[in-house]
């Protein structure tokens, strides 16, 4: 028995080594499995890429329009629709023919300006509300509740003067600040009209009549713009702007 002991020991050692090697080889697939897990993790990474791509896409979309330009477009559109609604009301409720004619001119000019601004907004994927802000709609409602004898003065004061003073101030600032070339062209084209609207309202508010503004009736209120009532479009003008 002592003679075979070394042989048995050698066989045992060989078997143990083979088993250890087999165990080591078995660990390798486990490691491969780890790599597979890593590969699975690799597949999860591309799943996040669309989200990253969307953020980049949104960033590019936002970069198309400067924040200040976007804010101006939204504010100017709201004011324009507000003035169309108020002026349309005045075309039927005002007692003075000159005030009615002035109101018709506002409907005409502001409707056209609104339509142009909406086109600019649409081209830049800026979604505008269908009508003026709630506070401005409330102003129109309050104006409509005025007695006939008080309506003309209230309309000239609130819409002709105060609203246009704000418009002129906003457009003057925008003329210096806006980045978009097409938007700046719109601002520079519209600003003289707004100044003219303000000047005419002040004359009417101060007791000026059509003759003092260069002619009788609608021609006087329309000034060099060819009169208002013949091109107003009435309610359809306001509806085109979503009011």
The Cα 136–Cα 142 span in angstroms is 10
Residue 182 confidence (pLDDT): 97
| Nearest of 153, 169, 164 to residue 196 by alpha carbon | 164
The parts of the chain modelled with pLDDT lower than 50 are 1-2, 7-8, 11, 18-20, 22-62, 210-243
**Predicted TM-score (pTM) of this structure:** 0.62
Tens-digit pLDDT profile for residues 64-99: 789 999 999 999 999 999 999 999 999 999 999 999
CATH 2.130.10.10 fits 67-240, yes or no: no
For every residue of 2-30, DSSP letters joined together read TTTHHHHHHHHHHHHHHHHHHHHHHHHHH
Question: Taking phi first (over 0 means left), then psi (-120 to 50 degrees means alpha), and beta for anything else, what does residue 226 get?
Answer: left
Kindly calculate the radius of gyration of the chain based on its CA atoms and give it in whole angstroms.
37
Domain ranges of the chain: 1-63, 67-240
- Decide: 92 and 85 in contact? Cβ < 8 Å: no
């Amino acid at each position: 028995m002592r003679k075979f002991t070394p042989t048995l020991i050698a066989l045992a050692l060989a078997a143990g080594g083979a088993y250890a090697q087999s165990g080591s080889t078995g660990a390798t697939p486990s490691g491969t499995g780890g790599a597979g897990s890593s590969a699975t993790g690799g597949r999860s990474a591309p799943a996040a890429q669309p989200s990253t791509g969307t953020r980049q896409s949104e960033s590019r979309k936002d970069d198309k329009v400067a924040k200040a330009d976007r804010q101006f477009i939204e504010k100017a559109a709201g004011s324009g629709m507000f003035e169309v609604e108020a002026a349309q009301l005045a075309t039927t409720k005002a007692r003075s023919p000159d005030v009615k004619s002035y109101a018709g001119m506002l409907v005409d000019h502001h409707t056209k300006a609104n339509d142009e601004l909406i086109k600019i907004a649409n081209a830049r994927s800026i979604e505008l509300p269908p009508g003026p802000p709630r506070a401005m709609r409330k102003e129109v409602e309050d104006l409509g509740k005025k007695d006939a004898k008080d309506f003309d003065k209230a309309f000239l004061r609130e819409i002709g003067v105060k609203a246009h003073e704000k418009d002129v101030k906003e457009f003057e600032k925008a003329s210096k600040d806006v980045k978009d070339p097409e938007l700046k062209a719109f601002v520079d084209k519209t600003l003289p009209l707004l100044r003219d609207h303000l000047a005419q309202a002040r004359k009417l508010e101060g007791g000026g009549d059509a003759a003092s503004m260069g002619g009788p009736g609608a021609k006087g209120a329309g000034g060099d713009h060819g009169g208002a009532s013949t091109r107003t479009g009435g309610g359809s003008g306001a509806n085109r702007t979503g009011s």
